[in-house]
Structure 1
């Protein structure tokens, strides 16, 4: 009778150990699946953050095309315009890496862009720029490239 009792206890313990092993196996499988999902999300998030991180380095081809067309249309102003285009490209490639830039730098960028686009305007139209920035406002921080589209659209669609 005692032998039988020991065998029952051993069978119950083995069944319990098997059940615990099965539970651990299921939990490990769930953790592996969750780890794969998180890795996939991380890769997707890393890819999108890399895309966002590289966004400032993507030069707007529309801007470059318009600038080159303006320079080409008035070859006698080419030296001055190429200098302004060089300043614009320097700003785009090197000075606007941060999320925000100083207002005075953005205004300087806008002035260079206006000078390039000025070639599209008839020589009879006298275009003047007036810029007044308080000294303390020049150091304010703004998002870069806020002036590109308004300037491009003003020269393209305005009745100058």
Structure 2
């Protein structure tokens, strides 16, 4: 199948098929007898000499240099000149070129100039539309591949620091022989499996995404102080809703990275997810921890840029992303129209 698709995409093959069908159609159109003979196709081949000139001047020069650059008036004038030149070439072929050929057939151009010009216009319009549609399709494919590459790149930007922090926390639990060690390792394993194997899909179920978020929160609670307040409220029915994977993850990670630091009696992360048939609302608020020199002027970091870029690619004009940076807290609100 791949070999066939590759063969079909060959330009020389596409053009050959087009002209073979065209010669057959022209030969049939001008045929006098009910059975096509060699003379019909020989006449059709000569008839195509000006058509070759007309079409390829248009495709190779006029369309890319003028039409696709929005120079419509020069393009129109040059097309008229192209048609006139093709008409002269048609007359030259049958009045001067044909008598020079060593053939026993005597043929003349019996096509009225009005019919000839109409045929020229039909070929110009048809081949121009084919050219533009192919260019549009190629552009769409390039844009699609570009978007896919950007999305893959953005997914890879999920900060891996939580992994090391989680492993350190689990290591500390193991030293204390905590009963939660095995469950924590399993939770981390599930999270990594999801991030490595399941986020390749364009859409995942919201229920699965929430399940992974819950597991992530469990790991974060291991390394947070006991006084840290972490809650996640869910409102509405999650079943049947599909979203882009790991869309909320950078926002949650950002809250823990910049808000929950060290031992603090006021550290908190509050999240709320509301779902309806046609809309998802997600908000997250966290306290602002002490900002070190590395983070000065860059609060929010790559996480917010990541989400903003992915939203623009996946949900163009179907989302609202608000960030509020206050003195003592940081909040993000995301609305997605399904």
Query: Shift of the alpha carbon at 1:110?
Result: 0.3
Separation of aligned partners in 2, 1:125 and 1:72: 20
Select between 141-150 and 89-98 the one with higher mean Cα deviation.
89-98
Q: CA RMSD in A?
A: 3.9
Deviations 1:44-102 (A, max 9, x none): 235325526x729944451x222223322551336544322221122223334443332
Aligned to 1:7: none
8 Å contact 1:71–1:119 — kept in the other structure? no
Please list, as runs of the form range in 1=range in 2, the aligned pairs for 1:29-68 lying within 5 A after superposition.
29-31=57-59, 38=135, 41=139, 44-45=142-143, 47-48=145-146, 50-51=148-149, 55=152, 58-62=155-159, 64-68=160-164
Report the equivalent of 1:125: 227
- Contact kept, 8 Å, 1:88 with 1:112, in 2: the verdict is yes
Question: Which of 166, 180, 197 is residue 70 of structure 1 equivalent to?
Answer: 166
Q: 1:85 to 1:26 in 2, by over 3 A?
A: farther
Higher relative strand content: 2
Describe the SS at the equivalent of 1:99.
coil
- Which of 3, 6, 27 is the aligned partner of 2:55? 27
Is 2:204 the counterpart of 1:101? Answer: yes
In structure 2, the partner of 1:140 is 240
Offset of 1:154 from its aligned partner? 2.0
Identify unmatched segments of 5+ residues in structure 1: 1-17
Return closer, same or farther for 1:30/1:81 CA change in 2, 3 Å cut-off: farther
- 1:138/1:23 Cα in 2 relative to 1: closer, same or farther (>3 Å)? closer
Q: CA deviation at 1:117?
A: 1.9
CA deviations over 1:3-28 (Å, ceiling 9, x no partner):
xxxxxxxxxxxxxxx99734532412
Please report how far the alpha carbon of residue 156 of structure 1 lies from its aligned counterpart in structure 2 after TM superposition: 1.8
Structure 1 counterpart SS, 2:238 = coil
* Larger mean Cα displacement after TM superposition, 31-40 or 76-85: 31-40
Query: Where is the helix percentage greater, Structure 1 or Structure 2?
Result: 1
Residue of structure 1 in register with 2:37 after alignment: none
- 2:182 pairs with 1:86: no
| Structure 2 segments unaligned to the other structure (5+ residues) | 1-45, 65-130, 174-180, 260-265, 268-338
TM-score, normalised via structure 2 length: 0.33
Whole-Å separation in 1 of the counterparts to 2:230 and 2:255: 14
2:170·2:185 contact (CA, 8 Å) conserved in 1? no
